[in-house]
Each structure stands twice: as C-alpha cells, then as structure tokens.
Structure 1
Amino acid sequence: MNATPAAAPVPQLTFRAILLSVILAVILAAANTYLGLFAGLTIATAIPAAVVSMGVLRLLGGGSILENNIVQTGASAGSSIAAGVIFTIPALIILGHWQTFQYSWVLAIAGLGGLLGVLFSVPLRRSMIVEEPLPFPEGKAAAEVLKAGENPGPGLKILGVAASLGALVKLGAQSGLRLIPDTAAGSTFFGKYLGYIGTNLSPALLGVGYIVGLNVGIVVVSGSILSWHIAIPIYHAFFLAADPVLSVSLADAGAEEAAWAIWGTQIRYLGVGAMLIGGMWTLFTLRNSLLSGIKSGIAAARQAKGTVVAETERDLPMKWMLFSLVLFVIPLLMLYQAVVQQWSVSIPMTIIMIVAGFVFVSVSGYLAGLVGSSNNPVSGITIATILFASVVLWFLLGGDSKIGAVAAIMIGAVVCCAAAVGGDNLQDLKAGYIVGATPWKQQLMLGIGAFSCALIMAPVLNLLAEAYGIGAPTADKPNSLAAPQATLMASVARGMFGGDLPWGMIAVGAGVGALIIVIDEILKARKAKFRVPVLAAAIGIYLPLELMVPIFIGGLISWLVERWHKIDPNDDDARDRIHRPGTLFAAGLITGEALMGILIAIPIVATGKPDAIAMADAYNVGEIGGLVVLAVVGWWLYRVSTRPAVKVD
C-alpha cells in the first residue's frame, strides 16, 4: 500500500511577494512621512496593503493567503519606519545640528533601529500571541481580510477612488493650485479675552479620525479646546502683561496672530508636561506585564532548543539573533562615537540604546496588542528614553554640553524606530498566527521591508524640508510642516542641556496629565466604554486646534456609521466588518493626499518657488468653498460606509 504523499508546502516568501511588499512599503513609508510631519500621526497600513496584494497577485495568476500575508507584513513596515524617523530625526534639524538630512546617518539610524526592533520582538511572540494572547486588533482585522480575500476587486476600487479624491483635493490646496485654502479659521477679542476657532480642510485628517474612532477624536479635540479656548484666553487676560517680551511683540497684533504666538511660546508646553507624565505612567502600568513577557519569551526560546518545532512555531534562531544583534550594534557604537568623540560616553550611549530598545519594544508590543499600532504611543516611549538618556549624558558630558541634546536624540531615534517596528512586527505575527503562517519568514520579511523603507527616508525628508520647511513657520516657509513630535523631542533634549524652556508651563501640564490619568483610572474601574488615554489628550493639547477638528469629525462619521448599521456596541467583530469599507476609503484619502503632497514638492524644489503651480487668485473659492469640499468628502466617506451593497471581502 502506497503512503499518501505529503502535501506540498504553501508558497510564502516568494520573489514576487518580496518585490511587491518592498514597493508597497516604500510608497506607504513616503505617505506616512508626510502625514506624520503634517499632523503628528501615522496610520497602520496592513489592511490596505493586504487588499492591494490580493488584487495584484490575482492579476499575476493568483496568490495564496500566506503569500498575501507576507506582502502585508513587509508593507506594514512603511508606517512603523516612518513613525520612528519623523518622531525623532527632524529634531536634529530643529536643534541646528544638521542643515539637511544626511543620507548615511538616516539610513544607519532607521535601518539598524528597525532591524533591532525585529530582533527584540522575536522572543516576545510566544508570550504575547500564543501563551497569553493579547487582542492585537489590527492583526486580527488583517487576518480576517486575508481569509475573506476571494474577491478583492471592490476593496481596490474603494482604495483607488478615495486615493484619487484625496490627491485632487491636495492638488487644489494652498501648496498646489491654490484653489482652496488649507484652513478655515476665525478669531476675535472679547474684552481682555481672546477667542480662536478653526479647522484644517484636509481629507487625510478626516480619514485619520474615521480610523481612530470617536473616542480618540473626542479626547484629542478636547485637549485642543483646553489649550485654545481655556488656556490661551486665560494667559492673554491675566499673564501676558507679566511677559514683557511677548506683550511688547503683540501690542498691535490681531487676535489670530496673538493666539498663535501665545500657543507657540507658552501653551503648547502644557502638552509637553502631559506627555512626559503620560510616558512615565505608561511604563509604570506595564511593569508587571513587561517582566513576565520577557521571562516567558526567554524561557520559550530555551525550551525550543533541540526539539522539533512545527513550521507555524518556528521563529528566527536565537543564535542568529544574537549574532545579528552584535553585528547591528557595532555600527551604532561607531555612529555615537562620531557624535561625541569620547569612548567613555559612546559606550554608555550604546548600552542605554540596547537596554532601552529591548524594554520599549516589549512595551510597544504590549500596547499594540491592547490598542493597535495606530494608537500605540511610541512618542511617549521615546520621550521617556530621551529623558533617561539626557540624565545620564548630563552627568557624563555636563549640563552645558553643546552636543548632549544631539546625543540624546540619537539614542531616542534608534529606540523609537525599534519600538515602532517591534510593535508592528507583533501585530503582523498575530495575523500570521491566525492564518497559519511561518513566524521566521514573516520576521525576515519585516526586516527586509524596514530596511527598504530606510533607504528612501532621507531623500523624502529633504524634499519635504526644502519644499515646505520643517518646524516653526518662517517668512519664506509659511506652510511649514509642524513635525510636532520631533519639535517636542528637541525641546525636551534642549531643555535638559541649558535650553530656555517654560518649566512652569511644563509643570502645570504634568499636573493636567496626572488629573487625566486619575479620570481615566476612574473610568477603567467603572468599566466604562469611553476612556481618556493621557497621551491622546496630550497630543491634542500640544497640536493646533485646527488639526484636531477634522479628526473629531472623522470619528463622528465613524460613530454615525455604527448607529446606521445598528450593531451591538460590545460586538467588536461586527464593528470591524462594518467599518472595513470606510477604513479602506479613509486609508485611500490619507495615501492619496500624502503622495500628492510629495509630488507637489518636486516642482517647488525644482523652481525654488512655493507657488510654482499656483493658479491666479481669481480662481480661489475661499474658506467657504474649502468647507464645502471637506463636507463633500465627509459625505462620500459616510455613503461608502453605509452602502449595504458594498462588499470588500
């Protein structure tokens, strides 16, 4: 009797899957770079990448669920590398250490940091996904899309239409044809009080709001209301006279100019304080889970030695991980030595980077498992790293060191890239665990994707910096990309080494953050569905109100969609299903607008003129026209999400 032949293994890490993954990763990294510098937020890209993969591989003759899973794994590195880079590396421009983004340095920081994130997350897979599984909502959603992927055509159509819409609106905006403004705003004085209200007209921010939902939307806009409708008016009415420099400069200023000046020099530092206390609280609350996760991961690796492991349980070999760790750390040690020129400092810097990297990859993975990669507070993790590194460097270099702030940012940048990639890796491994993928192949693919993205980060950053500017607006760069997290990192690092910071505002912000934590803990104890994550509130306090308003509106649309479908508020699976068309549409808006922003930068840089493709002023439809355009985009998003016939599976 003949034995039944073993089933042929399902293709996973194929050449076409690797190539498609790298292409998508690079595109999505560029898009998230623009979005992050513009709004301080990035979005997870696994689901759009999975839909595109299914459509493309179908055209090439079909693709297995595991092959599609490999594509979305590598492509999702685009958002994580972009987040790690834009949250930190622009701080080196803001500090004046660099005039342009240096290719080899950006590649070393982003590429090696991303690869370390992959390595550090490997021993955590078993504890967080297998033994004590966390929800990993985006990984679960991506797995459901992959399992239901027999007909990706409708999903591709939604992505394509939304991307075209987002691109067209961006083309018509202030940095492009100038048919519509970037914002609609108004301000006035009420006696001694100052009032300001405004909204950005970006479809991408509307898409971000839809993806993060109403809860986060309410929290971030509430943070901005605290800054702009409470703190700024109070400061203008009662404290401006005690600030001689600012009061003199605003003597003849209008309401809007005064509001922005007070926010930029004082009030936004409330957000800095809130983020500092929020980052430390995050670490404190995760202390037990972090230690148990690390212990169980190491124990699992020891138990696996010498045993036959199923294909679906095979991680990258521990000995190769340790070898790679040494291989990747040596260039970073040399990089730090080139910065500080002292081995007695560069070696401790490297040790801090390794320890903080492993600890914070664990924290990032745990948070991604709880709330998803899009809501993962990597910036809070990075602030904690920079603070700790600054304290150590302060003792090693002295408080008046001119290079201390730069060295702290260098450490934080590597840790930030590692934490972002590590959390994303575990999210992808959750999807792979559900569909039966091989872990080591996913881990290898994420490493390839992360390093591929690192290759293009410096050119994209230089293009955006030259076209729009990065940081505070200037006379020749009035529409500068705010880079809020990088500006925050630069402020914290500079403040630790003799910089002039409004420490009183930071202390008040820390108190506000502590109060928010207390409120959130009360809501948690009552098992309330609505929560107040402190880092989301801090982002709202720190960023301009106009950026938070469309995010709130997008979250409101998301809530209205749930009401229209009449789903059970406790049925998370149903919520994921009904939001899938809207999530794809929102992702398309974000990607289309971001890529158009990069394309518009090319003629601006080539000609040296910010109005290189601008139309005559007579064609500008003004703020009312811009609001109408945003309303149409919001209506379209709602219609796509509530159309019963839509089936993206």
Structure 2
Amino acid sequence: MVLFAWMRAQLRETSPDRSANSEFTLIAVVLGLLIGCLLCFTNLYFGLQTGWISMMSLQSALIGFLVSKLLPRPITPQENIVVQTTAVATGTMPLAAGFVGILPALGLLDPERDGMAPLHLTWLSTVGWSCAVAFFGVFLSPPIRKQVIIEEQLAFPSGTATAQLISVLHRLPPPDTSIRQRRGYRALSVEEAEEENHLTETHVVHESPLEVESEEPEIARKESWSALLWSFLASGVMTLAAYFFPIVFSIPLFGNYLAKEWLWSFTPSLSYVGQGIIMGFPTTLSMNLGMLVGWGVLSPLSKLYGWAPGPVGDMTSGARGWILWTSLAIMCADSFISLLPVIAEFVDNQLRRRRILLPRDGGSDDGDKEDNEVETEDRLVPNSWVLWGLGVSVVLGVALVWLVFGNEGIKPWATVIGFVLGGLLSILGVRALGETDLNPVSGLGKISQLVFALVAPGNIVANIIAGGVAEAGAQQAGDLMQDLKTGHLIRASPRAQFYGQLIGSSLSILVTSTAYTLYSRAYTIPGPSFPAPTAYVWLSLARLLRDGQLPDKSGIFMLAFALLFGTVSALKIHAVRRQLPYAKWIPSGVAFAIGFLNTPSFSLARLVGGVLDYVYRTRIAKDGNDIRLIVIASGFVLGEGVVSVISLVLKTCGVSVASCWGCGHGLCAGCPAS
C-alpha cells in the first residue's frame, strides 16, 4: 500500500517539460497494466504447458499504440515506452517468480526419495514468495544500465527492434543506432539486430527485430488493428472448441499407435503457430531438430535397450525422463560456453579500468573520466533509491522466504547467499543478453544449484529455492534491461520506466498468484494439460547433485552431447561476433534442448509458424517493412492465452467436454482417458 501511495503521488498529466512525471502518466500506466495482465495469463498458461515464455515487449508497444488510438488523446512515444515497460514487468512474473518451474518442482517432491512431502503453497504463501523475489532485479537495473547501455553501449537487439517499431508508429526519425560497440564491433545496424532470436531454458523469447520505415499510412494502422482483432478471435474460438472437443488439439497425425505409445501427435494451436512466427525460422528449426533426435532416435533407443523400461511418457522410468538428462547437458554446455567470452571480457575490462585509474605521479585520473550519461539527474533513478531498495528487498525477501518455507526448507543465511549470487549472475546474464540477445539463465540457474549443493548439501528444497532466488534476479534484470535500451534510444525517462517496473511487478504478484492457484485447483500440475517440463529439470538436477546417480547409460549420452554442443556453441558465438551471414543457421543448443523437453506436438506447430515467417519475409513482405505478420502472431498468442481463462472457469465449475470422439490414443487434455 505504501508503494502504491508513493506511485500515485508521482502520477501527473502530460506537461510540456521533459521530467519523468511528464511521461509517467495515468494513461500509460493503466494501458501497461491491462496489457501486462493479458500477457501474465498468457505466459503462465504457456509456461506451464511448455516452459516457454515471451517478453512480448514489441507486441506490448504495438497493442498499446493501437488501443491508444481509441482514446481521446493518443499517447506520446515516451508514454509508449512506459506502456511496454510496465507490461513486460507485469507479464514476465510467472517466470521471474518461478511459477512455471520452481513451484511445480516443489510439488513433485517424494517423501521416500527426497525426505520431504510435496510442497503445495496456498495463495497467501505464493504471494509471500513472489514478494520475496519480485523487486530485487528491478533495483539492480539502474546501476547495470549505466554500465552496459551508457558506457559500453551494448546492442540489446530486441530492445533496439522495439525502439525502431515505436519510431515508426509515432512517425519519428529512426533511432540513432549507429553507435560503436566494444572491441571488434562494427556500427549496429538492423541486419545485425536480425541475427539472433534465442530461447533460454526459462524459455524467454526476445522478439524478432523488424526493419521499419519512418512513415506508415493511417490505413496501415487500421489494417493492423483489424488483423490483431480477427487473429485474436480466431485463436480464441479454436481454443474454446478444443476445450469441448479435445481431439482438436491432439490430432494423431501419424496414427493412433505412434500417438499412444510414442507421444507423436500434432497440436494445430494457432498460438503455437504465432509463437513460431515470433521465434523465427532458425530457432524453430533448431527446436524441431532436437525433437527429431530426442523423440525419434534417443527415445526409441532407451526403450529398446531397456534403459528406460517404463511408459514412454513417464518422467521417472520412461523415455521422456531419460532424454531429459541429455537435454539438461546440452543446455548447461551451451549456456556455459556462451558465458565464457562474457566473463573474459568483463575481467579484461576491469583490469583495464584498474590500470587507468591507478594513481600517476601521486594523482588520480578519476576526474578526467568522461561521463557519457545523456539524461539529467531528475530523469535518472537516484543512487540512494537503489541502495535502499536493494537493502529492503533483500531483508524483506529473506524474511518472507523464511516465513513461507521455514527452517526445514531453507536457512535465512542461505537465502542471503542466493541474493548475493543472483546479483553477480545478473551482471553476466545482462552482458550476454546485450551482446547476443540471449540471457543464459539456464546455465546461470544450474550454477546457482551447484553452489547450493556445496552450501546446503543434501537439502533438495534449499537447492531449488535458493537457485530460484538467484535466477529470479538474473532473469528480471535482463528482461528490464531490454526495456531500458528501448527507452534510451527513444529518449524516455529511466525514472519513469523504473516507476512502471515497480508498479507492474507489484500488480503481477497478485495476478500471477491468483491465476496459479486457480490452475492448481482445476488441474494437476504437472499433469496432462500442464506438464511443466522445467519443473523436472530443476528437481532432477537437485537430486543428481545430492545423490550423484544418473539413469542407466544416460551419462554417456550427456557427455557426448555436451561436448558436441559445446563445440557448436563456440562456433556460433564466433560467427555471431564476426557477423558472418550463416551465424543464425547454426543450431541453438538451448532451442535444440527444448525439443527434448516437450513432446513433438508442441514443436511441430511452432515449425509451421517459423516456416510461415520465413516465406512471408522472403517472398511477400517488401523490404522487411511489413509488420502485419507480427501483428497476426500477437493476436494468435494472446487469443489462446486470454480465452484459456474461460476454459479455466469452465473446468472449475465442473463443465466437462462435449465429446471424446477421435481420442483413441488417450492423450487429449480433458478426456477421461488422459
């Protein structure tokens, strides 16, 4: 309440000055919160299904602009920055607070194997846990911004793409992206921004950047609004149809035998197609290559040779649980290799700075250092706010984690270490994100779990919780840094964005906790409808670090694929940094691993979207300036995410499916057979 009262005091109507308050307006905040709530439900829904979550910053800016055209006063470009910043902070909480991985993992605990009964948090407990981790990354952002955006001028391709789109929508001159990067970088161009479109194990996707013109006719805006509306409705209707006729989303495309015994089915979800469009063809291709290797080769091998004797879909004794370990090895190897050059350059920069600042002839060069900050003090976040915010968020976080989980879950001193580790990992994650558009939180999360295997040996709950605390800070700081890059290019106030981040995170705590509680009451999580694959990743690694036992023969394949994708990742990093044209076609290790985590039905529909995106941009769109496809993709994704709330209400009220016709394989969500 104190936070919202303070924020309310900051709100002002637009004024002619360039203060933070002239951009942090009621219109911008309300629009951002409304869009963010839609994204929050959407991301929670898809995150529990596949582990995939999108920042949707580009889509938030676009939807905010279109909606504002219906208002008496259209929003300014700087207000649009506040809209998308607030929306991203609200919409990504399902990931930052671990609702798609950490909390489901705690619900999978086995008393005999883990020494503790499953932990199913109440609504109040989920609110407390979310409050514990929701603000640390927000307060980390201002000092990191100063270093990576102002001083080092890292690219942040997705943030740059969003700035380019906003400049088009508001008919501004294109943002000046012709800045020189650090050693070995040429001037940033749109072609460079199109280079990467990565996934992380949190499976956050940063949207495909777009090259756009500085002018767009009014008719194009009307067409965009119409395309968004119709694609939203189409996806929503299909989602509702799939609730009453589950076969719609589980078509045995390759026959009932392969669907039932080997989990090969097809989900023609328009939202999955939309996600594939947003991801881009190279990423969806990597994901489907992983699907073919995991589900077409390794799964049958593990079953044939008796390494995974249980049913294929069983995460404990079946092939799905067996190939999970190979997926884990690929993600760790890819993320670790991608971090090496970042760590090396960070150390090198610190050594260079230390040599520069060494006293010379009894003096210091501190006063000669140029400050490249372009904003005035009244538009920046004061250092005192950062220090107090970090201190309060850590103290409050430690207390809340202790209240929620108690001493048996995790000791307060271990939670403090988690926050400290999260701060350190945030620096590495943000720098990697700024250079490659990849926030390697999969590797960072595994690093945190490894540390806590030493700090709190034998305590699986502490390993998962503390790892989640550390990962939350790294993930949130990275996502918010993309928004700050957008604001920097459009000359929006960092302080106004900071306000939006705090408000969005605060509201999202309640929205996400409520939605997760409702889903937990209506469905089994993990279960047929919401398998929550990343929960098994967290729990499996925690068990491995405690017991040191791997499934039969899985260690050999883990080592082989780790070496292979370590090499592939090194080659990809080299190609990206050299800006070689074939860089984006080198498989992404993390995307490849996600093909293992999810059943084929999730990957195939995304490939359809990726192919559509490739064909559209190479055969139909003129000069890459057409944004209609990304508008349609946004409508597809939002349509299913929002209408899924209706399905949730129907499920809670006991409304059953209309017909199980065609569901002979027993894999349809909602069918009695499933």
Conserved in 1, the CA contact under 8 Å of 2:244 and 2:659? no
Q: 1:139 maps to what in 2? A: 159
1:378, distance to aligned residue in structure 2 (A): 2.7
Q: Which of 3, 17, 20 is equivalent to 2:28?
A: 17
Conserved in 2, the CA contact under 8 Å of 1:467 and 1:601? yes
C-alpha change, 1:289 and 1:486, in structure 2 (3 Å) is farther
C-alpha change, 1:370 and 1:508, in structure 2 (3 Å) is same
Partner amino acid, structure 1, of 2:61: A
C-alpha change, 1:39 and 1:381, in structure 2 (3 Å) is same
Conserved in 2, the CA contact under 8 Å of 1:336 and 1:349? no
Q: 1:493 maps to what in 2? A: 542
Query: What secondary structure does 1:186 align onto?
Result: coil
C-alpha change, 1:317 and 1:220, in structure 2 (3 Å) is same
1:415 is aligned to 2:470: yes
Alpha-carbon separation, structure 1, partners of 2:601 and 2:461 = 31
Alpha-carbon separation, structure 2, partners of 1:294 and 1:535 = 29
Alpha-carbon separation, structure 2, partners of 1:33 and 1:187 = 31
Q: 1:73 maps to what in 2? A: 85
More deviation, 335-344/54-63: 335-344
Q: Which of 90, 98, 106 is equivalent to 2:104?
A: 90
1:73, distance to aligned residue in structure 2 (A): 0.8
Query: What secondary structure does 2:266 align onto?
Result: strand
Conserved in 2, the CA contact under 8 Å of 1:378 and 1:420? yes
1:336, distance to aligned residue in structure 2 (A): 4.2
Q: Which of 63, 66, 76 is equivalent to 1:55?
A: 66
Q: 2:270 maps to what in 1? A: 203
Q: 1:570 maps to what in 2? A: none
1:503, distance to aligned residue in structure 2 (A): 7.0
Alpha-carbon separation, structure 1, partners of 2:244 and 2:352 = 53
Conserved in 1, the CA contact under 8 Å of 2:275 and 2:633? yes
C-alpha change, 1:213 and 1:310, in structure 2 (3 Å) is closer
Partner amino acid, structure 2, of 1:89: L
Conserved in 2, the CA contact under 8 Å of 1:49 and 1:72? yes
1:18, distance to aligned residue in structure 2 (A): 1.7
Partner amino acid, structure 1, of 2:134: G
C-alpha change, 1:603 and 1:294, in structure 2 (3 Å) is farther
Q: 1:280 maps to what in 2? A: 336
Partner amino acid, structure 2, of 1:120: L
5 Å-filtered alignment, 1:419-438, equals 419-438=474-493
Deviations 1:77-119 (A, max 9, x none): 1342222222322212222655543334323333342311111
Q: 1:509 maps to what in 2? A: 558
Q: Which of 388, 391, 395 is equivalent to 1:330?
A: 395
Alpha-carbon separation, structure 1, partners of 2:316 and 2:419 = 40
Alpha-carbon separation, structure 2, partners of 1:552 and 1:223 = 12
Deviations 1:590-630 (A, max 9, x none): 111112222201121122xxxx2522456x7999xx9xxxx
1:270 is aligned to 2:333: no
Query: What secondary structure does 2:492 align onto?
Result: coil
Deviations 1:498-550 (A, max 9, x none): 48652741552243022022134335546333222222222222222221111
Q: 2:42 maps to what in 1? A: 31
Q: 2:432 maps to what in 1? A: 367
The TM-score with structure 2 as length reference comes to 0.77
Conserved in 1, the CA contact under 8 Å of 2:91 and 2:508? no
Query: What secondary structure does 1:13 align onto?
Result: coil
1:283, distance to aligned residue in structure 2 (A): 3.2
Q: 2:125 maps to what in 1? A: 105
Q: Which of 141, 160, 164 is equivalent to 1:121?
A: 141
Query: What secondary structure does 1:614 align onto?
Result: coil
Alpha-carbon separation, structure 1, partners of 2:313 and 2:461 = 32
Partner amino acid, structure 2, of 1:18: V
Q: CA RMSD in A?
A: 3.6
1:304, distance to aligned residue in structure 2 (A): 13
Deviations 1:280-310 (A, max 9, x none): 333333213445788999999x9899x9975
* Aligned sequence identity (%): 21
Partner amino acid, structure 1, of 2:530: L
Partner amino acid, structure 2, of 1:321: V
Q: Which of 604, 611, 614 is equivalent to 2:657?
A: 614
Query: What secondary structure does 1:76 align onto?
Result: helix
Partner amino acid, structure 2, of 1:66: Q
Give the unaligned 5+ runs of structure 2.
1-14, 111-116, 171-217, 358-365, 669-674
Alpha-carbon separation, structure 2, partners of 1:19 and 1:566 = 34
Deviations 1:415-470 (A, max 9, x none): 23322221121111111111111112212211211121112212211222232321
Q: Which of 235, 248, 262 is equivalent to 1:166?
A: 235
Alpha-carbon separation, structure 1, partners of 2:473 and 2:353 = 18
C-alpha change, 1:324 and 1:294, in structure 2 (3 Å) is farther
1:127, distance to aligned residue in structure 2 (A): 2.5
Query: What secondary structure does 2:248 align onto?
Result: coil
Alpha-carbon separation, structure 2, partners of 1:172 and 1:132 = 51
1:53, distance to aligned residue in structure 2 (A): 1.9
Query: What secondary structure does 1:8 align onto?
Result: coil
Alpha-carbon separation, structure 1, partners of 2:368 and 2:230 = 48
Deviations 1:152-174 (A, max 9, x none): 4433322222111111111111x
Query: What secondary structure does 2:17 align onto?
Result: coil
**Structure with the higher fraction of residues in helix conformation:** 1
Q: Which of 591, 594, 598 is equivalent to 2:645?
A: 598
Conserved in 2, the CA contact under 8 Å of 1:273 and 1:506? no
1:320 is aligned to 2:340: no
The TM-score with structure 1 as length reference comes to 0.80
C-alpha change, 1:169 and 1:566, in structure 2 (3 Å) is closer
C-alpha change, 1:511 and 1:582, in structure 2 (3 Å) is same
Deviations 1:374-426 (A, max 9, x none): x53433322322222223210xxxx3xxxx21112211222233222211211
Partner amino acid, structure 1, of 2:231: A
Query: What secondary structure does 1:94 align onto?
Result: coil
